[in-house]
Amino acid sequence: MKRQIAIVGKNGRLGAALCQALAEENQVLPFGREELDLREPVWEQLKGVQFDLLINAAAATNVDWCESHEIEALRINGYAVAELGALCAERDARCLHVSTDYVFDGLSSRPYLEEDPALPISVYGKSKRLGEELLLDAHPDHLVIRVSWVFGPDKPGFIDWALDQALNHDNLSAIDDKTSSPTYTLDFVRWIRPFLFELPIGGIVHLCNPGGCTWREYAQWAIDAACLEGVPLKAREVQPITLNSMSSFLARRPPYTVLEIGKFLNLTGLRARPWRDAVQHFVRGKFLGTQ
């Protein structure tokens, strides 16, 4: 009999990828905002819904929106996560919760470990850190999974934007003083599988493609990969700009949030391809339809 996995956030980049990948071997119960509104108490909304595991991939992720809507951000990213964790604990089911690199202040000179102090500098980061803490308070077997710069074929993201700009415009620029780790959804759904039932550990784990890059390097490599596939681009070089030049930003961004994934590798014995290989695979699939 297939196990039942509830996936909250079915319309997001990770949620959509999880729904598709995990449905092969499990009975997936997908929830979007129309089925489960995290702005409202979740207990009554999940009344009568049976599941063996719940994955929460939903969140308020617009960093600047969170900065000007603190109460709503704390509700969606923090207190709703606590309710999901408590509900799962009551039903003797684990909860896997997707979190973010924005829980760090970005002042490190090396990739962040799971044990490093979380010192968020924005409302978004604080709300996500609150969710982490409350989830693990609900039950120590729940698992927080931190990701960053998620991209994949299920929903357009930064790489899609950069490639569209390069296809249609002569000039393209991207931030060159903020560094993090891309996370490819097609890799993520493979990495998460052992944590579902095979390795039911609790705590925090980082899941992303190895290595770090700036937004400019990220976009430049995607463009280089497209050129290798013979895609006719108008812009082939990404010009650098700074975080400080982004006057439209309301919230502070941590400048360096590369995540160390050694814990994940040691626990699972899996390998993770570097971010450049993942981006090249994505770009090839985008233009050649091989994903």
- Which contacts (CB < 8 Å, 24+ apart) does range 68-72 have? 68/250, 70/123, 70/127, 72/39
Q: What is the pLDDT of residues 75-124, one digit of tens each?
A: 999 999 999 999 999 999 999 999 999 999 999 999 999 999 999 999 99
Confidence of residue 291 (pLDDT cuts 50, 70, 90): low
137 is a domain residue: yes
Q: Cα–Cα distance between 52 and 122 in angstroms, integer?
A: 34
Contact in structure between 137 and 203 (CB atoms under 8 Å) = no
88 is a domain residue: yes
Name the domain count of the chain: 1
Confidence of residue 269 (pLDDT cuts 50, 70, 90): very high
Q: What is the mean pLDDT of residues 275-290?
A: 91
203 is a domain residue: yes
Q: What is the pLDDT of residues 192-243, one digit of tens each?
A: 999 999 999 999 999 999 999 999 999 999 999 999 999 999 999 999 999 9
Residue appearing with tokens 């620029």: 173
pLDDT at 288: 83
Token readout for 129 is 């850190």
Q: What is the pLDDT of residues 50-71, one digit of tens each?
A: 999 999 999 999 999 999 999 9
60 is a domain residue: yes
pLDDT at 28: 98
pLDDT at 73: 98
Burial class of residue 202 in the structure, from the number of CB atoms within 10 Å of its CB (0-12 exposed, 13-18 middle, 19+ buried): middle
Q: Cα–Cα distance between 55 and 49 in angstroms, integer?
A: 14
Beta strand pairing call for 239-241 and 173-175: parallel
42 is a domain residue: yes
Q: Cα–Cα distance between 129 and 120 in angstroms, integer?
A: 7
For residue 73, the tally of other CB atoms under 10 A from its CB is: 25
Q: What is the mean pLDDT of residues 9-35?
A: 96
Contact in structure between 104 and 257 (CB atoms under 8 Å) = yes
Q: What is the mean pLDDT of residues 260-273?
A: 97
Instruction: Give the least confident one: 39-43, 60-64, 153-157, 159-163.
Output: 153-157
In the predicted model, is pLDDT for residue 16 greater than 70? yes
- State what percent of residues in the chain have pLDDT above 90: 96
DSSP state, 190? H
pLDDT at 50: 95
- Residues 6 or more apart from 44 whose CB is under 8 A from it? none
**Domain boundaries, position 107:** 4-155+183-210+257-273
Compute the residue count for the chain: 291
Residue appearing with tokens 């077997």: 141
- Rounded to a whole number of angstroms, the distance between the first and last alpha carbons of the chain is 30
147 is a domain residue: yes
287 is a domain residue: no
In the predicted model, is pLDDT for residue 13 greater than 80? yes
pLDDT at 289: 75
148 is a domain residue: yes
E strands, 9-63, are: 27-31, 53-56
What CATH number is attached to the domain comprising 142?
3.40.50.720
Contact in structure between 6 and 53 (CB atoms under 8 Å) = yes
* CA-based nearest residue to 18, from 163, 222, 183, 130: 183
In the predicted model, is pLDDT for residue 290 greater than 70? no
pLDDT at 1: 81
pLDDT at 181: 97
